[in-house]
Amino acid sequence: MSAVAEILPTRAEEDWRYADVKALADLWPLPERETITVPAGGSFARSIVQTAGGVTRLSLVLEAKASAALHVLNAGGPYARVEIDVVLHEGADFTLGGAQLAQTGQTVEIVTKVTHAHPDAVSRQLVRSVAGGQGVVTYLGKVKVEPGADGTDGEQSVRAMLLDRTATANAKPELEIYADDVKCAHGCAVGELDANGLFYLAARGLPPAQAKALMLSAFIAEAFDGAEEGDHLQSLAQKLLEEAL
């Protein structure tokens, strides 16, 4: 057995349960995790664009009343993964908007862990995924509320659109709560494009591929709300959707 095989994760590990471990071997070893601390009262924003595969790993520590917003476009390559760990101190505010696109031969993943370590912090995670052919899209997200982190407000919204019955969407939004006075919620849905909507657009002269791309673009647009580079992200996602269709 090679040294790489000995240290590669396996699907028995929760964070890698849907990963393409064979494709991961070509990217091993993983890049070092980047760690960023946002000082008290400060703010941080970043767009992560991954359109040729690879692994991005980021840890954020938000001190009291700090805020951070991440917007992710994850697509392309045999395997693309974005890992995000966040620790929130008192009154901190974290937002994640993520869009994922996968076609046959592609596995794309967003894996998050958000820890509410102190009271009155807010986290919002919204992920929209599109899979066609035999593509695989995955979101694994844990929100952990530590003891004493009263006033926590955490939300996860996860939706995936399957363009073919052979495509796969995996989602596991998870709450781990050790405080009493909190407001936490998560929602998850997997579906297909609305046939009535496609018929409506076709009746107005749009070719099927263009109609699908338009509807899918609207579907993922939410993920880029509030992003400084929102127009660029949306334009790039639209291009990728049109190429896929």
Half-sphere exposure of 179 (CA within 13 A, CB side): 23
Type of residue found at 169: A
Provide the residue ranges of all domains of the chain, joining segments of one domain with +.
Answer: 3-189
Q: Is the pLDDT of residue 22 over 70?
A: yes
pLDDT for res 78: 95
Q: Is the pLDDT of residue 198 over 80?
A: no
Structure tokens at 127: 């992920």
Q: Is the pLDDT of residue 82 over 60?
A: yes
> Mean pLDDT of all residues in the chain?
92
Average pLDDT (197-212) is 78
Average pLDDT (87-100) is 98
Q: What is the pLDDT of residues 39-70, one digit of tens each?
A: 999 999 999 999 999 999 999 999 999 999 99
Backbone angles phi, psi at 112, to 5 degrees: -130, 150
Above pLDDT 90, what percent of the chain?
A: 75
pLDDT for res 153: 97
pLDDT for res 6: 55
For residues 240 and 213, the answer to whether their CB atoms sit within 8 Å is no
Average pLDDT (77-95) is 97
Exposure b/e, 99-129, CB count within 10 A at least 16 = b = bbbbbeebbbbbbbbbbbbbbbbbbbbbbbb
Query: What is the C-alpha separation between 144 and 16, in angstroms, rounded?
Result: 19
pLDDT for res 23: 92
More confident residue, 51 or 206: 51
In this prediction, residue 202 has a pLDDT band, given cuts at 50, 70 and 90, of confident
In this prediction, residue 2 has a pLDDT band, given cuts at 50, 70 and 90, of very low
Strand, coil or helix: what is 191?
A: strand
pLDDT for res 3: 45
Q: What is the pLDDT of residues 221-238, one digit of tens each?
A: 999 999 989 999 999 998
Closest CA to 192 of 165, 217, 152: 165
Q: What is the pLDDT of residues 97-152, one digit of tens each?
A: 999 999 999 999 999 999 999 999 999 999 999 999 999 999 999 999 999 999 99
Helical segments of the chain, H only: 3-7, 21-25, 195-203, 208-221, 230-244
Beta bridge partners of 37: 61
pLDDT for res 1: 39
